[in-house]
Structures are given as C-alpha cells and as structure tokens.
Structure 1
Amino acid sequence: MVTMQVSKPPYQDPPINAAHWLAIDFKPIKTFKTPVSLRQIKAEPTLQSIGLIKQPRLSVIRLSKNEFEKIINLANFKS
C-alpha cells in the first residue's frame, strides 16, 4: 500500500485518442509494510460507499479524511 500525491495536472492519455481519457502523474509519499486487501476493505462497514467497492477496477479513488484514516488503521493493525 502506498500513499501518493498528484505531481502534475491531468493531461490527455497519450495512447488513447479520446478526450475523456486522462492520465495523472503521482509521486509516492509513504509505503506501508502491510498491504490492505480488497477483502478487508469490503468487510469494513464504514467503507461501503467508497468508489473502490462500487467500481473495483478503479486504480485511483477519492477518499474522505475519515475513509483514508480507516484504511491506514487497517494497514497498521493487521495481524
């Protein structure tokens, strides 16, 4: 699991010639030793409304501060 920050604004995805396909560059901020599985996230009642549950093929999702902290806690407390 890695937290990342957007490093530059969205731009047209080079290999795809469609205006609605954008690419975004990120830079890593912190890598966690313990990953959080999709199964763990799905099992957490407070995370049922996040984009990852609704559309699991997403690679980037927006999280509220509370959702982000809950996932961080799952990473820190996994046995």
Structure 2
Amino acid sequence: MQVSKPPYQDPTTKDTNWLAIDFEPVKTFERPISLEQIKAEPYLQNIGLIKQPRLSVMLLTREEFENIVNLKS
C-alpha cells in the first residue's frame, strides 16, 4: 500500500492530536489472508494485530511482512 493523501484532521473528532491518512493498494493478493491464518503462525504471535486486533495500521518488521506474504501460497 502507499499513502494516497497527506495526513489531515480526523473528521470524527475535534482533537487536533488525531489525524487521518488515506492509503491505496499497490498490489493485491488473489485470495485474502485471514486473521485465523496469521494467528496460526507461531512466528507472528508478537505482532500488533494479534495483541490488539482492531488496529488498522501497525509496524511490521521486514521478516514479519514477508512471513505474512508467504501465507498466500
């Protein structure tokens, strides 16, 4: 994914500490990777998505990202 629009004030709040950022896909999978698939992988147990599943954006190491991408096969 890539940022498609610079950060702007989150329209759901007047708190200036909250920003929104729009993204667009660069490349998509033929078949989505499910949360169940990610949860089943022992080497992904420490990522933010497992600890706080309502995250929309999270930091991943390159290794974590590659492990998730490899789940598609």
TM-score, normalization: structure 2?
0.86
Name the SS for the 1:31 alignment partner.
coil
Which residue of the other structure, out of 6, 22, 25, is the alignment partner of 2:22? 25
Residue 49 of structure 1 deviates from its aligned partner by 1.1
- State which of 60, 63, 68 in structure 2 corresponds to 1:71: 68
Note the C-alpha offset of 1:35: 1.0
5+ residue gaps in structure 2? none
- Pick the aligned partner of 2:45 from 45, 48, 53: 48
Distance 2:65 2:19 in 1: 24
Cα distance between partner residues in 2 of 1:20 and 1:40: 34
From 19, 31, 34, give the equivalent of 1:34: 31
| 1:5 counterpart = 2:2 | yes
* SS of 2:66 mapped into structure 1: helix
SS, match of residue 60 in structure 2 = coil
Q: Which sections of structure 1, spanning at least 5 residues, go unmatched?
A: none
Higher strand share: 1
